[in-house]
């Protein structure tokens, strides 16, 4: 195991579970890891507890719920418990960390498709 804030090593970055299509890719992890590590450093636990789940799996749980639209209580059993995933989701939503992560992933996707990081034109349809 490693002490890195974003994941635990169980024969690699991922555990032995089969991946979901919504899981964080290695490229996405590289972008998101510094944001989450900085957030964890800025929000230390009063008790010193470091958490029992890999941050990558927490993000995978958030992405799974977002992609599938399932209720929190229906997250698959091989992801962290819904309470742990919801804790980070609500904390990151309330302080804007989720928007930072969203922007980084959007910029990465746009650049991958050889587009400007920010769109130059927006069309609204009512």
Say what the pLDDT of residue 84 is: 94
CA distances from 112 to 18, 27, 58, 63 (A): 26, 11, 25, 20
Residue spans per domain, the chain:
26-112
> pLDDT digit string (tens) for 13-62?
445 789 999 999 998 999 999 999 999 999 888 887 777 899 999 999 99
Say what the pLDDT of residue 13 is: 45
Query: How large is the C-alpha radius of gyration of the chain?
Result: 16
Tokens of 57: 């799996």
DSSP 57-81: HHHHHHHHHHHH---GGGS-TTSPP
| 12 has pLDDT over 70 | no
Percentage of the chain surpassing pLDDT 70?
Answer: 81
Higher pLDDT, residue 69 or 115: 69
| 6 has pLDDT over 70 | no
Are the C-beta atoms of residues 62 and 89 closer than 8 Å to each other? Answer: yes
CA dist., res. 126 & res. 123, Å (int): 10
Longest Cα–Cα distance in the chain? 51
């Amino acid at each position: 195991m490693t002490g890195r804030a974003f994941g635990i090593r169980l024969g690699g970055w991922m555990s032995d579970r089969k991946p979901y299509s919504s899981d964080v890719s290695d490229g996405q992890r590289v972008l998101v890891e510094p944001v989450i590590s900085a957030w964890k450093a800025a929000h230390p636990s009063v008790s010193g507890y470091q958490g029992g789940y890999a941050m990558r799996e927490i993000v995978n749980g958030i992405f799974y719920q977002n992609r599938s639209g399932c209720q929190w209580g229906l997250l698959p059993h091989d992801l962290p418990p819904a309470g742990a995933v919801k804790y980070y989701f609500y904390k990151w939503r309330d302080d804007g960390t989720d928007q930072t992560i969203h922007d980084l992933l959007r910029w990465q996707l746009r650049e991958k498709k050889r587009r400007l990081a920010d769109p130059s034109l927006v069309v609204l349809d009512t």
